[in-house]
Amino acid sequence: MSPRTVVVIGATGSQGGSVARELLKSPHLYRVRAITRDPSKPAAQELAAIGAELRCADLSEGAEALAAVFAGANAIFALTDFWATQSSEAEIAQGRAIVDAAARTSTLQHLVWSALPDPEKLSGGALLHIHHWKGKSIVTDYIHQQYPALWAMTTTVLFPNYFENCLTHPDRYLSKPDAQGVYNMSFPHSPHTVMPNVSIRDTGKLVQLVLESGTTYFAKTIAFYNQALAEADKLAAIGEKYNLRTKYHTLNADEFQRLLETRDGMSPEIALDFTEQLLMFEKFGNVYDSPEFVQAKEIPGLKLQTWVEFLEENNLLAYMKRS
Ligand SMILES: NC(=O)c1ccc[n+]([C@@H]2O[C@H](COP(=O)([O-])OP(=O)(O)OC[C@H]3O[C@@H](n4cnc5c(N)ncnc54)[C@H](OP(=O)(O)O)[C@@H]3O)[C@@H](O)[C@H]2O)c1
């Protein structure tokens, strides 16, 4: 059998980068077409050096342009990046363009769609400002409702909190020592509130398994996480490893939102979006742990990294000093 051509959107980033690198390890099975807006950037050139075909495309160019990029694809790993535009309208338009183009791709056998769940449905209408979840769930519904044949070959993957967020946003997920040498962390969570977590570098393993499982995960939604963890416990584990004094603070929603505005420079609307996503777990528990979703951690043969293993692999102290 000749190798399958897999289009990877977001190939220069965290999710897509993991998918591209994993598939490129099996050139007898996969040809990787990596999508980027800038093929000259180092992350794109690194992929080219290990065998990826680079294709320049912007998701905002619309369905026609994307259909040309998808031509001949047997599978597509698709995502939208809310944070690049911070606009729900833009994210939904990009997602719909991907879906319209995928539906036109006659060679397509599998779409893997990176999503988040519908926050209104999960919260019974209580949390209405989590735009970066809602937009993706609108696109999921669009596939389901507009393109039944495409839906029948779609696997939706719900992504969780990445372990790696503490490397990309050390100010938010780690901390600097205060005058007493104590490392402080603030979240709008009780110390016992858990969120689903995964190493985002395991995305490729999941996607390859899904692509090699025939129709098993067609029209299914996978909750992709390995451990449900409290940020307070993650901080405590860091403290223990490096022998640091740590303190976890529970802020109320308003206090946390203001912190995101002042410390992280978020607009009030984006700070509310971010805060409400955390409140989802505070108010409604681990909403990913539902029989509605295939639980990635229960998929046979899929070995996902734990937080302890992540701590062994990464020198977080260096990031805390940098933050
Ligand atoms: N961080 C978390 O804990 C978390 C959890 C769940 C879900 N998510 C979701 O993950 C998504 C981001 O994925 P990521 O973490 O892999 O992102 P990332 O590491 O920041 O990389 C973003 C990728 O998207 C590509 N991209 C952005 N805008 C594009 C456009 N207009 N056209 C073509 N490509 C575009 C970039 O490609 P080029 O720059 O090379 O063009 C890059 O490869 C967000 O929507 C976020 O909501 C994040």
Q: Where are the domains of the chain?
A: 4-161+197-225+287-305, 164-193+228-284+310-321
- Cα 10 to ligand 1 centroid, rounded to whole Å: 6
Q: Give me the pLDDT at residue 140, please.
A: 99
What is the domain class of 4-161+197-225+287-305 according to CATH?
Answer: alpha beta
Q: Side by side, which strands form the sheet with 53-56? A: 53-56, 30-36, 4-8, 75-78, 110-115, 154-158, 220-223, 294-295
Task: Kindly report the protein residue whose alpha carbon is nearest to atom 8 of ligand 1.
Answer: 159
How far is 206 from 18, CA to CA, in rounded Å? Answer: 10
Q: Inform me whether the pLDDT recorded for 1 exceeds 90.
A: no
Asked whether the whole model's pTM tops 0.95, one would answer yes
Percent of the chain with pLDDT over 90: 93
pLDDT digits (tens, 9 = 90+) for 136-145: 999 999 999 9
Q: Which residue has the tokens 């409140």?
A: 279
Nearest 5°: the CA angle 252, 164, 239 is 65
- Of 81, 30, 90, give the one whose Cα is nearest residue 60: 90
Give CA–CA dist 237/311, Å, rounded: 9
Q: pLDDT value at position 322?
A: 65
Chain-wide mean pLDDT for the chain?
97
CB-based contacts of 209, cutoff 8 Å, min separation 6: 299, 301, 302
pLDDT at 321: 72
Which CATH fold would you assign to the domain 164-193+228-284+310-321?
Answer: UDP-galactose 4-epimerase; domain 1 (3.90.25)
Measuring from atom 13 of ligand 1, which residue has the nearest CA?
A: 81
DSSP run (H or E) holding 229? strand 227-230
Atom of ligand 1 nearest to the CA of 132: 47
Give CA–CA dist 318/323, Å, rounded: 9
3-state DSSP assignment of residue 53:
strand
* Ligand 1 center–CA 209 separation, angstroms: 22
Contact between 96 and 139 under an 8 Å Cβ cutoff? The reply is: yes
Rounded to the nearest whole angstrom, what is the distance from the C-alpha of residue 241 to the centroid of ligand 1?
31
Atom 14, ligand 1: residue with shortest CA distance: 14
**Which of 7, 35, 69, 81, when mutated, tests ligand 1's pocket best, judged by the most ligand atoms within 8 Å of its CB?**
81
* 254 or 179, higher pLDDT: 254
Checking if the pLDDT of 56 tops 70, the result is yes
Distance 243 CA to ligand 1 centre (A): 35
> Do 204 and 275 contact (CB within 8 A), yes or no?
no
Q: Tell me the average pLDDT across 7-34.
A: 98
In this predicted model, what pLDDT tens digit does every residue of 149-196 receive, in sequence order? 999 999 999 999 999 999 999 888 877 788 999 999 999 999 999 999
The set of protein residues with a Cβ atom below 6 angstroms from ligand 1 is: 10-16, 35-38, 41, 58-60, 79-84, 116, 132, 159, 161-162, 165
Max CA separation in the chain (angstroms): 64
Ligand 1: atom nearest CA of 136 is: 45
Q: Distance, CA 136 to ligand 1 centroid (Å)?
A: 12
CA of 266 to the centre of ligand 1 (A): 18
Query: What's the average model confidence in pLDDT over 34-63?
Result: 98
* Residue of 21, 54, 51, 49 lying closest to 35 (CA atoms): 54
Give me ligand 1 centre to Cα 240, in Å: 32
Residue 323, pLDDT > 60, answer no
